[in-house]
Structure 1
Amino acid sequence: MNTNKHEIEALIQRGESVSLEFKSDLKRLPDRELVAAVVSLANTDGGDLLLGVEDDGTVTGLHASHLNVLGIPPLIANKTNPAISVRVEKCESTGKSIARIRVPKSQQLVSTSDGFLVRRRLKFDGTPEAVPFYPHEFIQRQSSLGLVDPSAMVLEEVDSGQLDPLQRLRIRSAIKKYGGEQSLLALADDELDGALGLCRESNGARHPTMTGLLVLGTEELLRAHVPAYEVAFQVLQRTDVKVNEFFRKPLLETFEEVDPLFKVRVEEEEIQVGLFRVPVPNYDRRAFREAFVNALVHRDFSRLGAVHVKITDDGLTISNPGGFVEGVRLDNLLVVDPRSRNPLLADVIKRIGLAERTGRGIDRIYEGMLRYGRPAPDYSMSDEFTVSVQMVNAAADLDFLKMVVEQEDKLGNMPIDSLIILSRLREERRLTTADLAPSVQKSETNVRITLEKLVETGFLEPHGTGRGRTYTLSAALYRKAGKKSEYIRQAGFAPIQQEQMVLKYIDAHGSIKRADAADLCRISPFQATRLLKRMEKNDLVKPVGQGRGTRYERK
């Protein structure tokens, strides 16, 4: 892939970041520093190294010894362990030559040949820096890449006899209560430990795994061997702290103590939908359970910090130390294959029945907000160090809930894609397929299929054709909600009405532009173009000017 002049200048304009590094080559950058810069990118997210560019973005060019860039890839491969394969191309900017070194993200830890191990991070001022990769961070990095399972590590310094037998009773109780694997109930304690991977043989003795310690350990053992493990439950009213509890107990016991603290703060009203009375809680219990269990299971146990459950006037926030695992991002959260930082722990919790067994607990969290007409859960405060989800304490839209319940009574559970689409249209009234695709996190083709199914079931009405096709909630839904006039405003006007509106606008202002027509008739710019072209063909208007400045007058 060749980089053109505009692309390289755009890269330099962006400035340095975690995935973009500038290196001066005026005095010939030493090989050791060049290789270390490549290693730091490979150990983070990969990216580009621009050789011949100063830290402030000034292009000073390549040293004479680096003008032949063909020697850079073998140099880097020979001086990295394991070898990093980079692509290098020479580019021109402001009349000077620079080298663009494309560094792939490594799927394992990489060091220089002399053992120098570094990674990149952002400083407090937002600028990047290279820092040493310390030994305690190795397991964290390998876990995020899915190379090791920290929760399956055997703790040979702990004997299985030190574990708390009462916690096995909690496991059995949870299986009965939450519908876990019933076959586990018939197993003896040792068999249960083995079946769930809680204990394993090592050097002729039985020792707990990290998962076994988290589930069966005593509070003293957890403090000694998992010092990062802690759970905080807080309730704040404005600046007053009403509840501030901290837990270091085994995982199931902690869940059993936090869950009642949450439930006493759930307030419910009921509405009548047909023959049924439907509860409307301020916080959905299943959504809370999935979010809380996710935080407990997917946290990074090598990083200090508690799992926080915080209830404020604004809503419920649950956060845990450790960012999203490798491959999970905000823009694919709903569609990425399920994966965990602690696979064995996640498997145990699913088999007990505490978590969604399909691995799609995120859908349940979204459903717990959207089906009540509330905003979607907000993960935007998450970063590389923390995953945080906020569930806003907003009033339920009872008309929207009735619509969902009636549909579920006829056709079964409404898919999460449909809930997202209906929720956005409820808020923004009129949207295209392209508008909705980022929220659903699927291709426009898949979104269009869902939209047309909603049209068939009578939830939506389409307007227009082609790429300019828009969708609104149907007249029937607005009628049920007693908002007939609002439907007319959102659905727009008939073509003949649109033409009359355009002509009246021209009479009042002398001419009209495409943007004015789109705003006047509540249609997309593409549909406004078609409307004006149709009026021109029917000798109602004539274009004046060309390009973006075109306006239309009466003919």
Structure 2
Amino acid sequence: PVWDGRRLTELRMGQPLPEPDFTAQVLPAASLPDLDPLEVLRLRRLLEERGSSLAALPDLELLFALGLLERVEGEERPTVAGLLLAGTPLALRRLLPQAEVSYYYHEGEEGYRFREDLLRPIPALLERLRDLIQARNRVRYLTVGLFRIEIWDFDQEVYREALLNALVHRDWQSLDAIQVHHHRDRLEVSNPGGFPPGITPENVLRHPPKRRNPRLAEALYRLGYVERAGSGVDKMYRLLLKHGKEPPEYRLYPEALTLVLYNPELDEAFVRELAEAQERLGAFSLDHLIAVAHLRRVGEASLEELSRALQLPEEASRRVLARMERMGLVRREGGRYHLARKDPLAERALALLEVPRRRLEVERALGLSRKGALSLLGRLIREGRVERLGRGAATRYRRR
């Protein structure tokens, strides 16, 4: 039997031993003065905000309850999780220099405009990263009925989940730092260590949660930062897709993992249409959002292609799509699925393009900006409803 942190569990024959939890260990040189009383007070405030009974405990009892202290040979000493959540700057520099996070802001593809290296306990680290990202984060407002929707370049809840995933799942024994690269069109969060065994970019949405650092994850759960059920990936998908953005992309390297959050050009018509559809039909499930977003990007797809996007077996995907057909969200033609969209602007464009037209003609007839016309024409081309003829100044667009 193996102790998993809560109970003894039996290992099956041939099953590998679980990786030891580095964040539960006590480093030989770590001692109680390595914890910052002000950071301990910050943890208490977080628990008070959640209404947790732990907030009433004395400091030492509180730290033991969170798994941030262990008693070693009669002496209270911090665990690695304790140092990561409440360590002094000096202790982190001396004992855990890999806790540093480097933030880069890029205005172009070459070099960076601004850099800041952060070596702070996780709560203070997350606050500073939020300030750095928000200072360069644009917001647009979209009115749908009586409601106003805020659409940020990078939603604060989404990038917070991305940062927490990197902190919780990274390999803390690696001396490499987490890196955050902030571009105008994407945010990249890279951490040492790949996925836990068995998890891949192709199944990350459906695989049962596996935590590389259970002690740190449990403390962050009690403090309200993460969900115990491992719903962070679901949350990122949902928040991105409902605002017309792309799902997160995972890039796996031999010793590192990069999560990319894209910031495409806002498609106001699509976001408004999606919001209005949910007002009529009720909130969409995550499966519905994934299927709609995928079909919007590619125009049409087979069951096999949609199964890969949904990360579901084909039979389960078929049931999802059948329900979406009954809801009037998709239609099936010749074994391929399309969005069943009611898009007055697109219908006007298609009527206009019964004969070949220049982009400028489309702009003037529909009252669109250059960017808006290009976005609409690009979507209609991806959906297979419009074709582009010629090149350069001779380019014309025609309905298929």
TM-score by length of 1: 0.58
Q: Is the 8 A contact 2:45 2:55 kept in 1?
A: no
- For 1:151, give the aligned amino acid: T
Q: Which residue number in structure 1 is paired with residue 195 of structure 2?
A: 324
After superposition, give the CA deviation of every residue in 1:293-324 in whole Å (9 maximum; x if it has no partner). Answer: 11122111111211111112441111111111
- Is the counterpart of residue 306 in structure 1 residue 177 in structure 2? yes
Measure how far apart 1:351 and its partner are: 1.8
Structure 2 gap ranges (5+)? 1-12, 354-383, 385-400
- Is the counterpart of residue 149 in structure 1 residue 3 in structure 2? no
Q: Which residue number in structure 2 is paired with residue 283 of structure 1?
A: 154
Q: Which residue number in structure 2 is paired with residue 483 of structure 1?
A: 347
After superposition, give the CA deviation of every residue in 1:61-90 in whole Å (9 maximum; x if it has no partner). Answer: xxxxxxxxxxxxxxxxxxxxxxxx9xxxxx
**CA separation of 1:407 and 1:352: change in aligned 2, threshold 3 A:** farther
**CA separation of 1:202 and 1:418: change in aligned 2, threshold 3 A:** same
Q: Which residue number in structure 2 is paired with residue 546 of structure 1?
A: none
Between 414-423 and 337-346, the greater mean CA deviation after superposition: 414-423
Q: Which residue number in structure 2 is paired with residue 416 of structure 1?
A: 286
After superposition, give the CA deviation of every residue in 1:462-484 in whole Å (9 maximum; x if it has no partner). Answer: 335xxxx322111xx23355436
Aligned residues: 340
Distance in 2 between the 1:288 and 1:485 partners? 36
Q: Which residue number in structure 2 is paired with residue 471 of structure 1?
A: 337
Distance in 1 between the 2:218 and 2:138 partners? 32
**CA separation of 1:421 and 1:200: change in aligned 2, threshold 3 A:** same
Q: Which residue number in structure 1 is paired with residue 44 of structure 2?
A: 172
Structural mapping, 1:258-277, within 5 Å = 258-277=129-148
Q: Which residue number in structure 2 is paired with residue 431 of structure 1?
A: 301
Distance in 2 between the 1:354 and 1:240 partners? 33
After superposition, give the CA deviation of every residue in 1:176-210 in whole Å (9 maximum; x if it has no partner). Answer: 56xx4622222222221121101121211111111
Between 153-162 and 197-206, the greater mean CA deviation after superposition: 153-162
Measure how far apart 1:398 and its partner are: 1.8
Structural mapping, 1:335-350, within 5 Å = 335-350=206-221
Secondary structure at 1:241 match in 2: coil
Q: Which residue number in structure 2 is paired with residue 107 of structure 1?
A: 16
Q: Is the 8 A contact 1:151 1:344 kept in 2?
A: yes
Q: Which residue number in structure 1 is paired with residue 56 of structure 2?
A: 186
**CA separation of 1:237 and 1:160: change in aligned 2, threshold 3 A:** same
Query: Matched residues, percent identical?
Result: 32
Structural mapping, 1:72-87, within 5 Å = none
Q: Which residue number in structure 2 is paired with residue 371 of structure 1?
A: 242
Q: Which residue number in structure 1 is paired with residue 398 of structure 2?
A: none
**CA separation of 1:181 and 1:156: change in aligned 2, threshold 3 A:** farther
Q: Which residue number in structure 2 is paired with residue 249 of structure 1?
A: 120
Measure how far apart 1:241 and its partner are: 2.7
TM-score by length of 2: 0.79
**CA separation of 1:479 and 1:253: change in aligned 2, threshold 3 A:** closer
After superposition, give the CA deviation of every residue in 1:377-436 in whole Å (9 maximum; x if it has no partner). Answer: 211x32231110111221122222223323444555422221111111112222221121
Distance in 1 between the 2:317 and 2:44 partners? 43
Distance in 1 between the 2:73 and 2:186 partners? 50
Secondary structure at 1:148 match in 2: coil
- For 2:34, give the aligned amino acid: Q
Q: Is the 8 A contact 1:478 1:484 kept in 2?
A: no
- For 1:402, give the aligned amino acid: R
Secondary structure at 1:388 match in 2: strand
Q: Which residue number in structure 2 is paired with residue 208 of structure 1?
A: 78
After superposition, give the CA deviation of every residue in 1:83-129 in whole Å (9 maximum; x if it has no partner). Answer: xx9xxxxxxxxxxxxxxxxxx8x725xxxxxxxxxxxxxxxxxxxxx
Distance in 2 between the 1:395 and 1:371 partners? 14
Structure 1 gap ranges (5+)? 1-84, 86-103, 109-145, 490-521, 523-555
Distance in 2 between the 1:415 and 1:264 partners? 32
Secondary structure at 1:478 match in 2: coil
**Aligned alpha-carbon RMSD (Å):** 2.3
Distance in 2 between the 1:486 and 1:156 partners? 71
